[in-house]
Every structure is written in C-alpha cells, then in structure tokens.
Chain A
C-alpha cells in the first residue's frame, strides 16, 4: 500500500531564503508525482508534474526533483516571498486514475 509522507510538517522562514520541501513515498512504482499548493480554505493549485521517466521539472522559482529508486521528491523554492505562504502537498499517482496525497507542509514566509 502506497504511503506518502512530507517533512517538515511546518516551516517558517524569513523572506528571501531558499528552501526545500521533502516528500517520500513507499512504493517506487509510480506513474508521476505532482506538487500542489493550497491556500487556507481553498482548493488545490497544481505547481509541477513530474513524470516517472523524468528527474526534474522547473517553473519560475520552483524546481521539483524526483528520485524513484529512493522514493523521494523535493520541491525547491528560490528567493521565497510572503506570497508563497501556503500548504504544499505532494501527490503520487501509483494506481490507475487516482492520487495518494502526502500530509502536507505548512509554509510561512515572514516579511
């Protein structure tokens, strides 16, 4: 049974800092992995999708890497801003038509 864990559960950093969020999964047989952002009381916004054959994806200040063999993914946020404050979720597609979500990292960027 696939399990997805995110560390840390919460993170508070000063503005401008580069930071790394971690996601680990127990079964390496995945189709892809997605990183999402969720603002309080809101739905999810897809940030990056990494296919199982890819090692990383980049979008603006965000870079996500995937190491299937070790069951890990990292989301790197460069030059963090207060507007980046949100909960970040990783989700693994390891079964047909559904995602298994991680527990989330609650990020607060201080001005």
Chain B
C-alpha cells in the first residue's frame, strides 16, 4: 500500500511569488491535514480537509489556503511569499480525520526555501 506522497520535495522561490504544494493521501483515506515545521515554531497545524471541505484551520494568515479534490488529493497554496514562510510543509492523511481514533500518516514533506 503506497504511503502519503508530496510533490515537489524541494522548492525555491523568491519573495512575493506564490507556490502550490500537492499531497496525495493513502488510498481510501479521506482526511488530509497540513502542517508547517520551522526550527523556531516547531510543527504547527495549518488546516484539515475531509470530503473536499475544510473542517478546521490553524492560526495562519489568509495567504495560506488549501483545497481538496474529489479523489482526496489536496493542494495548499501560499501567496505573496515571505522569508518566514521557509519551512518543511508536511501533510498527513487518515481515514476519517477523527483524532480520537485515527492514526495520522505523514508524507515526507516539501522543503520550501524563500529567497
């Protein structure tokens, strides 16, 4: 069974540009969550999608957005990039997203560098 895949694995952008990251969950999983990991702030929750609907959102500015498609694949977009957006972006999939029962499976991440 294939794991969570994220593309691209590495990305270099300049300030002011926008970027789109992609996440394909494990087959059959309908929930996808996104996290940002930086040395200073650690791992922080961005948002979670289930059946194409955003169910929860972390404390990030509106420049960070996401969506989920009918096949459960998810994309996140960051507009008007800032230096502080440089981070490892991780996505996680689970069957239902119910944190009381589900295990989350994480992808390898996309390393974004903003110059």
A: residues with CB less than 8 A from B are: 31-32, 34, 36, 41-46, 49, 51-52, 89, 91, 93, 95-104
Specify which of B42, B50, B56, B109 is in contact with A43 (CB 8 Å cutoff): B109
| B: contact size bracket | 20 to 34
Question: Closest CB-CB distance, B54 to chain A, in whole Å?
Answer: 10
Main secondary structure of the interface of B (DSSP, over half): strand
Question: Closest CB-CB distance, B90 to chain A, in whole Å?
Answer: 6
Main secondary structure of the interface of A (DSSP, over half): strand
Q: Most chain-B Cβ atoms within 10 A of its Cβ — which of A41, A46, A98, A99?
A: A98
Cα A52 to Cα B107 in complex, Å, equals: 26
Cα A99 to Cα B35 in complex, Å, equals: 10
Take A41-B111, A97-B99 as given contacts and tell me if A103 and B56 are in contact as well, using a CB distance cutoff of 8 Å.
no
Cα A89 to Cα B104 in complex, Å, equals: 13
Specify which of A32, A44, A49, A51 is in contact with B90 (CB 8 Å cutoff): A44
Residue numbers in A under 8 Å from B109 (CB-CB): 42-43
Question: Closest CB-CB distance, A68 to chain B, in whole Å?
Answer: 14
Answer yes or no: B75 CB below 8 A from chain A CBs. Answer: no
Residue numbers in A under 8 Å from B104 (CB-CB): 34, 46, 99
Residue numbers in A under 8 Å from B92 (CB-CB): 44
B: residues with CB less than 8 A from A are: 4, 6, 31, 33, 35, 42-45, 48, 50, 55-56, 58, 88, 90, 92, 97-101, 103-109, 111
Question: Closest CB-CB distance, A21 to chain B, in whole Å?
Answer: 16
Give 27 pairs: A residue, B residue, CB < 8 Å, sorted on A: A31-B100, A32-B99, A34-B103, A36-B106, A41-B88, A44-B106, A46-B104, A46-B106, A49-B103, A52-B100, A89-B43, A91-B43, A93-B99, A93-B100, A95-B56, A95-B99, A96-B99, A97-B33, A97-B48, A97-B56, A97-B97, A97-B98, A98-B33, A98-B56, A98-B58, A101-B35, A104-B42
Specify which of B6, B48, B107, B108 is in contact with A98 (CB 8 Å cutoff): B48
9 closest residue pairs by CB, A with B = A93-B99, A101-B43, A31-B100, A44-B106, A43-B106, A43-B108, A97-B56, A98-B45, A97-B48
